[in-house]
Structure 1
């Protein structure tokens, strides 16, 4: 039996949530954050990192917090901080705090697909629409980090590749990110 591969889940939760009217990490009394951490932890991640910025809060166990001081530069700053905090992990699972109905089953399904693929890359789809979680094998992280800018996360990196496994999760949740109340 081979060595178990380590996985770090990253909850991107640093934004100000301007369209939402408040930082989404505070939404529903912190319930969205609790759900995101539980989805990653229960979905197969050995370590969970929550990237904070506009609001700094206590994160639920078993997560640990990292603050993206440059969060105002956009989503790329949050992804960069989360991936750096996950250094050494064989796989990084990225998700956002504003997709509260994405649970452990979706994380498990996408993570399994990435681990079983030759590329080590997988992304959830909801009725054909790309969403979170996204799983990236460690060997791709330097290139993905180099592709980051402004308010774009890993999306442009993933779109430029033909070897990302699309994993339908529409039977598990809507996968919709909530931008307004």
Structure 2
């Protein structure tokens, strides 16, 4: 799929982490009749994007198998792509680099979903795409004054983001954009909800 300007977008789901604060195995933890990762994948498949690129690392085979099973159930198997972040132990930066590096050269931008955020409202996604098509360098959802996820990154940011290190992800790049970062109101707090500990699953 594409933005209004006709340029193709992709969706990344960062799912390579170890989930240390959770005690391991976070993305495969039971959640709402499936596993935690299903929520992020559902949102990513709902995005106006050509394909969903799942970045795996820790527990790669099990996470990939769960993703394939979900995609099959949802009739989306043809849109799922797998990318292995070999240096995933470094943190989110490694996952982001691996995902962006794998995207086709004609990609106009990439949604970045986090595998431990299962409640992203799909309704916010078209607004992010419209902001990018309208000239923003990137777009992010906002709920009650707080910036959330997923973010949509325009291709012009890719060279800078391919150099990120550690666990910050795109945060540093976004903070320097000023008004070039479009803030899109979200319909609910799902853009802020993430799972760090088993207790968060009960929230």
Normalised by the size of structure 1, how large is the TM-score?
Answer: 0.89
- Corresponding position: 1:160 with 2:176: yes
Match of 1:120 in 2: 137
Higher helix fraction: Structure 1 or Structure 2?
Answer: 2
Q: Please give the root-mean-square deviation of Cα atoms over the aligned residues, in Å.
A: 1.9
CA distance in 1, matches of 2:187, 2:197: 21
**Matched residue of 1:132: which SS?**
coil
Deviation sequence 1:120-156 (CA, Å, 0-9, x none):
311112221122111111122112223x111110001
Q: How does 1:1-181 map to 2 (within 5 A)?
A: 4-28=6-30, 31-56=35-60, 57-58=64-65, 59=67, 60=71, 61=77, 62-88=79-105, 89-116=107-134, 118-146=135-163, 148-162=164-178, 163-171=180-188, 173=190, 175-181=192-198
Consecutive unaligned residues in structure 2, runs of 5 or more = 72-76, 199-203
* Structure with max Cα Rg: 2
Conserved 8 A contact 2:39-2:117: no
Deviation digits for residues 71-104 of structure 1, max 9, x if unmatched? 0011100000111112321111101011100032
SS of the residue corresponding to residue 150 of structure 2 reads strand
- Change in Cα spacing, 1:5 to 1:174, as seen in structure 2 (3 Å) is closer
Q: TM-score, normalised by structure 2?
A: 0.80
Contact map agreement 2:141 2:185 (CA 8 A) in 1 = yes
